[in-house]
């Protein structure tokens, strides 16, 4: 039962080494064929015979690998590989022959390679099929769902513990900064304030404006049905000043500066710059985190004021386009928004700024090694910031409710 | 020493420059099959520049760099890829992909350039790691192994497609003498058993004496090759005093206080 597959150009060359002691095999040849390896599988008295001819290399072995592996695994008895006509064999050929050997070994079949040139033999002999009986490619043991859940829970607890430690360190560093204002690196703080504050102004104003505009527009349509569209002014004003201004500014800050802090500190960690600071006796918290937190804490309320103003301006445009006079808009704002609302929002912004800068720096310092580690830190800086800002916002709502603020 | 009939890389009238500043000025040399060929020279002489041009990362100002007659400088598209496949490169810091295990690092070129079945790729990649003695670490991430092991893994990755030539950029830099000697042994073994041609940039003298069968030496003052031959021979017999000085590790006269 001759199974003939594979066609080649080189197989017509005379056997290179040894004698061709098989019953004559008719190699299907055609000069136009580009494949450079051919094989024939035949069952004879001596067992299954695999005859190879041509080049055993990266380009040729892929096409025949599966066929040959199957031929070895389904062999009824012993297997002989005739390799006299193999005129080139590199690591891929050695890999193929090794694979066939280990498959035969696994099936308990004897496998003999005959006629392989001594130079190639050495390469094939470099790997012991016994050692490759099982291919442990070390992808790590599969963990059960229970283990994964436990691992995740432990990670959350560890993360929380790290967070508490970091809050403590940050608090100490800030107390130190208040006591030693001359030692604070104000130059860094001002530079960061410029990048995190002034440079963020266009995006914060744009987003604030659009939120105010869209909110006013969307609410004006149903409110108009009840003749309540004058309240659009107070709706936009209150929502911006108390909630959306600070939250939106914090989210923009997290995306711009929190991520930047994490990436910057993470890269410093990977480059051992943090270690260098530590061994110089300088505290990374004082040296790197304090200026960033101060900058963010001072800038966030200012950005929030701009966001509030832009949002209210957006609402105002919708308001006057509904045909109401400007004075009515002013009156609505005066009636419904007082200083407490404004201050409540700015206090939140102050805290949010601290959270975003602190979390960004913390994630940066938690960076492990490798190129992907900085990416992970940056992602988790933004995600953690937004989650913590949202939770804190909820907490503020409760506190303000009880304080009647 | 390897036979010298067989030229595998041919560099002709090669000039490298960064902008207007010429680093290497009109040099020509051949690398022969099976050689362990070392590019040597003081700091800033253009060793790494030459290597980066040879592997096609930079384009020379003038000249050609031919692999078996095919010029990498002018080759484009598929032809260029075909030339690039003939050699592997180990970068100074290993340049392993940090997000992949060692096995995945070695497997990557196999996935891209061969049509092997997946388990065959695993087997081939494992044999490459076996050759550099890292089979047990196949599932480790690069960050989890030492610097010397990273370099060995980088050699395994460079060998993934069985290239005839391996370029190594400062293989011993940052390694302790024992690890460095192990790496030298590995290079010699691969050269002997797989007949791989090595082109190595280094200035580690012990390593050069141990492995090189030919060195060329660049001098930044003349921007040319000032020595070409067997390192032991050059140390004793070079007619260039600076070359003898270099091999004998003497400080240069004008650099002394």
**How distant, in Å, are the alpha carbons of A214, A295, A297, A347, A362 from that of A286?**
43, 13, 15, 24, 13
Q: Do A132 and B123 touch (CB under 8 A)?
A: yes
Q: Assess if residue A137 is contained within a domain.
A: no
Q: Please tell me whether residues A186 and A313 are part of one structural domain.
A: yes
Domain edge (last residue) among A79, A97, A132: A132
Q: What is the mean pLDDT of each run of 10 residues along chain A (405 residues)?
A: 39 34 33 61 83 87 89 87 86 89 88 85 82 71 84 91 90 91 90 93 96 95 90 93 95 95 92 84 87 94 96 95 93 92 94 95 87 88 95 94 86
Q: Do B143 and A370 touch (CB under 8 A)?
A: yes
Alpha-carbon dihedral sign for residues B193, B194, B195, B200: negative
Q: Assess if residue A138 is contained within a domain.
A: no
What's the pLDDT band for B5 if we cut at 50, 70, 90? low
What is residue A180's three-state secondary structure?
A: coil
User: B187-218: per-residue pLDDT in tens?
Assistant: 888 888 778 899 999 888 888 888 998 999 88
Q: Do A91 and B128 touch (CB under 8 A)?
A: yes
Is B25 or B247 the better-scoring residue by pLDDT?
B25
Q: Please tell me whether residues A45 and A168 are part of one structural domain.
A: no
Q: Do A90 and B162 touch (CB under 8 A)?
A: yes
**How distant, in Å, are the alpha carbons of A32, A363, A403, B36, B234 from that of B228?**
45, 53, 86, 13, 8
Q: Assess if residue A140 is contained within a domain.
A: no
pLDDT at A223: 92
User: B48-72: per-residue pLDDT in tens?
Assistant: 889 989 988 888 999 999 998 889 8
Q: Please tell me whether residues A224 and A106 are part of one structural domain.
A: no
Q: Please tell me whether residues A322 and A228 are part of one structural domain.
A: yes
Q: Please tell me whether residues A332 and A218 are part of one structural domain.
A: yes
Q: Which residue of B has its CA nearest to A121?
A: B193
CATH number of A18's domain: 3.30.750.24
Residue pairs between chains A and B whose CB atoms are closer than 8 Å:
88
Q: Assess if residue A268 is contained within a domain.
A: yes
Q: Please tell me whether residues A41 and A153 are part of one structural domain.
A: no
Q: Assess if residue A139 is contained within a domain.
A: no
Q: Do B130 and A127 touch (CB under 8 A)?
A: yes
**Distance in angstroms (rounded) separating the CA atoms of residues A231 and B28:** 84
Q: Are B16 and B58 in contact (CB under 8 A)?
A: yes
Domain edge (last residue) among A132, A154, A183: A132
Q: Do A95 and B143 touch (CB under 8 A)?
A: no
Judging contacts by C-beta atoms under 8 Å, the chain A residues touching residue B98 are 369-373
Q: Please tell me whether residues A197 and A55 are part of one structural domain.
A: no
Q: Please tell me whether residues A105 and A175 are part of one structural domain.
A: no
Element (H, E) at B64: strand B62-67
Domain hosting residue A331, numbered range: 145-403
Cβ-nearest to A140 among B98, B139, B159: B139
Residue B4 pLDDT exceeds 70: no
What's the pLDDT band for B222 if we cut at 50, 70, 90? confident
Looking at the complex, report in whole angstroms how far the Cα of residue A46 sits from the nearest Cα belonging to chain B. 28
What is residue B188's three-state secondary structure?
A: helix
Q: Assess if residue A360 is contained within a domain.
A: yes
User: B85-130: per-residue pLDDT in tens?
Assistant: 889 889 888 888 887 889 999 999 898 888 899 889 999 999 989 8
pLDDT at A139: 57
Q: What angle do CA A232, A233, A239 make, to 5 degrees?
A: 85
For residue A11, give the DSSP letter: G
Instruction: List, as ranges, residues 93-122 from B with C-beta within 8 Å of A.
Output: 97-99, 101, 103, 110, 113-117, 119-120, 122
Q: Do A61 and B130 touch (CB under 8 A)?
A: no
**Distance in angstroms (rounded) separating the CA atoms of residues A245 and A305:** 8
Q: Are A212 and A240 in contact (CB under 8 A)?
A: yes
Q: How many domains does chain A have?
A: 2
């Amino acid at each position: 039962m001759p199974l003939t597959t594979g066609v080649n150009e080189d197989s017509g060359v005379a056997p290179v080494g040894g004698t061709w002691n098989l019953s004559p095999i008719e190699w299907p040849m055609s000069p136009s064929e580009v494949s450079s390896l051919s094989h024939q599988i035949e069952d004879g008295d001596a067992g299954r015979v695999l005859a190879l001819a041509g080049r055993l290399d990266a380009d040729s072995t892929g096409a025949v690998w599966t066929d040959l592996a199957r031929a070895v695994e389904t062999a009824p008895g012993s297997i002989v590989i005739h390799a006299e006509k193999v005129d080139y064999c590199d690591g891929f050929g050695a890999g193929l022959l090794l694979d066939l050997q280990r498959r035969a070994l696994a099936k308990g079949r004897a496998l003999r390679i005959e006629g392989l040139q001594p130079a190639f033999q050495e390469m094939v002999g470099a790997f012991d099929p016994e050692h490759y009986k099982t291919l442990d490619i070390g992808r790590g043991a599969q963990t059960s769902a229970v283990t994964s859940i436990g691992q995740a829970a432990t990670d959350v607890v560890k993360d929380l513990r790290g967070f508490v430690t970091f809050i403590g360190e940050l608090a100490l560093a800030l107390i130190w900064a208040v006591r030693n204002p001359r030692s604070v690196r104000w130059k860094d703080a001002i530079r960061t304030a410029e990048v995190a504050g002034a440079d963020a102004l266009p995006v914060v104003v744009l987003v604030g404006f659009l939120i105010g505009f869209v909110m006013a527009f969307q609410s004006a349509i149903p409110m108009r049905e009840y003749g309540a569209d004058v309240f659009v002014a107070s709706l936009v004003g209150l929502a911006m000043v108390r909630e959306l201004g600070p939250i939106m500014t914090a989210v923009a800050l997290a995306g711009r500066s929190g991520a930047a802090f994490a990436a910057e500190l993470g890269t410093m960690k990977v480059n051992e710059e943090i270690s260098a600071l530590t061994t110089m006796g300088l505290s990374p918290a004082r040296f790197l985190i304090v200026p960033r937190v101060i900058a963010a804490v001072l800038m966030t309320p200012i950005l929030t004021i701009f966001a509030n103003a832009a949002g209210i301006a957006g609402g105002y445009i919708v308001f006057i386009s509904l045909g109401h006079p400007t004075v009515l808009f002013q009156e609505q704002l005066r009636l419904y928004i007082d200083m407490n609302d404004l201050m409540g929002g700015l206090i939140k912004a102050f805290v949010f700024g601290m959270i975003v800068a602190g979390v960004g720096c913390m994630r940066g310092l938690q960076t492990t090694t490798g190129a992907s580690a900085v990416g992970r830190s940056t992602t988790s800086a933004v995600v953690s910031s937004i989650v913590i800002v949202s939770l804190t916002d909820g907490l503020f709502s409760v506190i303000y409710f009880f304080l009647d603020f | 020493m390897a036979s010298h009939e067989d030229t595998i890389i041919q560099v002709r009238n090669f000039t490298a420059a960064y902008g207007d500043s010429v680093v290497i000025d009109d040099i020509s040399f051949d690398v022969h099959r099976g050689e362990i060929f070392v590019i040597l020279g003081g700091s800033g002489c253009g060793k790494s520049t030459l290597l980066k041009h040879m592997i096609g990362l930079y384009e020379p100002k003038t000249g050609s760099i031919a692999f078996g007659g095919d010029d990498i400088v002018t080759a484009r598209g598929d032809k260029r890829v075909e030339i690039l496949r003939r050699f592997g490169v180990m970068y100074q810091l290993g340049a392993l992909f940090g997000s992949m295990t060692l096995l995945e690092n070695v497997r990557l070129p196999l996935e891209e350039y061969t049509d092997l079945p997946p388990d065959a790729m695993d087997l081939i990649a494992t044999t490459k790691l076996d050759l550099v003695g890292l089979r047990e670490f196949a599932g480790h991430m690069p960050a989890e192994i030492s610097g010397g092991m990273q370099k060995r893994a980088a050699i395994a990755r460079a060998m993934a497609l069985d290239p005839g030539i391996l370029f190594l950029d400062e293989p011993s830099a940052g390694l302790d003498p024992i690890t460095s000697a192990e790496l030298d042994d590995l290079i010699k073994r691969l050269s002997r058993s797989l007949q791989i041609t090595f082109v190595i940039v280094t200035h580690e003298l012990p390593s050069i004496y141990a492995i090189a069968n030919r060195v060329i030496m660049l001098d930044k003052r003349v921007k040319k090759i000032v020595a070409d031959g067997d390192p032991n021979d050059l140390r004793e017999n070079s007619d260039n005093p600076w070359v003898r000085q270099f091999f004998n590790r003497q400080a240069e006269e004008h650099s002394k206080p």
